[in-house]
């Protein structure tokens, strides 16, 4: 079945480089979420879209992080001037509805390693 | 400040026995709770959820119990199977927000 897909699955960046992580949600899903999961921790919320509108970006750790979903489907998380503390797995999730908490469907994640 | 806590990093259970995974939370505004299972190199998979208006929800071998006064929930798996070996995350959500707050996870190992 067509679940949430993310690309690339693995990314190695040198400190200071910019990276772009892509998320393809399940078709028709209104809500899209980005989470960051550090080693040994649970996922931590970064930002949330309802269709193309970014309704919550309270979890973005700095202004180096930027996310967009211009047409309400595919989303890109961009990290500028990467630093070692950005190394983590970045998870994307989507859910069918908005405004009602329901299960979120997660992609496999992108493992970012900053050297 | 960890609002959702899973104090047991790991649990080992024999096949066929009951597995009990625990989760505590501090925010009394949380009104919806979910459990996710995660295998290596995969994203978390939804398992079961419970609303704060209930104290129990059951789905096959999985049952979640909620004790609001203690701010505690638990996931029971019975009987446990080797395929249940994974990391289990507890997550919570507050009203007027769709974002989930996750615990740090408990690694369950079910041995034959």
Q: Where are the domains of chain A?
A: 5-114
Query: CA A21 to CA A114: how far, in whole Å?
Result: 14
Architecture per CATH, domain A5-114, reads as: Sandwich (2.60)
State the nearest Cα–Cα gap between B7 and chain A, in angstroms.
12
What are the residues whose beta carbons fall under 8 Å from the beta carbon of B49, sequence distance 6 or more? A103, B32, B33, B34, B35, B57, B64
State the nearest Cα–Cα gap between A81 and chain B, in angstroms.
26
The chain B residue lying nearest A98, using CA atoms, is B98
Instruction: Quote the pLDDT of residue A1.
Output: 55
Q: Token pair for residue B64?
A: 């979640």
CB atoms within 10 A of CB B39: 12
Q: Which residue has tokens 């096949």? A: B15
pLDDT tens for chain B, residues 1 to 112:
789 999 999 999 999 999 999 999 999 999 999 999 999 989 999 999 999 999 999 999 999 999 999 999 999 999 999 999 999 999 999 988 889 999 999 999 999 9
State the nearest Cα–Cα gap between B70 and chain A, in angstroms.
22
Strands B10-14, B106-111: parallel, antiparallel or unpaired by DSSP? parallel
Q: Nearest Cβ partner of A56 from B42, B99, B103? A: B99
Read off the pLDDT of each residue in A35-61 and give the average, rounded to a whole number. Answer: 95
The answer, for A104 touching chain B at a CB cutoff of 8 Å, is yes
The answer, for A36 touching chain B at a CB cutoff of 8 Å, is no
Q: Per-residue pLDDT for A70 more than 70? A: yes
Which has the higher per-residue pLDDT, A100 or A54?
A: A54
What residue ranges define each of the domains in chain B, with the CATH number in brackets?
A: 4-111 (2.60.40.10)
The answer to whether B46 contacts A45, with C-beta atoms less than 8 Å apart, is no
């Amino acid at each position: 079945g067509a679940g949430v897909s993310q690309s690339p699955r693995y990314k190695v960046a040198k400190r200071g480089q910019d990276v772009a992580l892509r998320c393809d949600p399940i078709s028709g899903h209104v809500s899209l979420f980005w989470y960051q999961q550090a080693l040994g921790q649970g996922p931590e919320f970064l930002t949330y879209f309802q269709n193309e509108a970014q309704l919550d970006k309270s979890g973005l750790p700095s202004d180096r992080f930027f996310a967009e979903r211009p047409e309400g489907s595919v989303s890109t998380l961009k990290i500028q001037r990467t630093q070692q503390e950005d190394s983590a797995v970045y998870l994307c999730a989507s859910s069918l509805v908005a405004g009602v908490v329901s299960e979120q469907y997660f992609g496999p994640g992108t493992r970012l390693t900053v050297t | 400040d960890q609002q959702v806590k899973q104090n047991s990093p790991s649990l080992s259970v024999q096949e066929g026995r009951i597995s009990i995974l625990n989760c505590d939370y501090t925010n009394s505004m949380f009104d919806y709770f979910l459990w996710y299972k995660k295998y290596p190199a995969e994203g978390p998979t939804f398992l079961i959820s419970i609303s704060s208006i209930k104290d129990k929800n059951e789905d096959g071998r999985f049952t979640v119990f909620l004790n609001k006064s203690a701010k505690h929930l638990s996931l029971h798996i019975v009987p446990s199977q080797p395929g249940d070996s994974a990391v289990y995350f507890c997550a919570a959500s507050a009203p007027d927000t769709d974002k989930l707050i996750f615990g740090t996870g408990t690694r369950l190992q079910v041995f034959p």
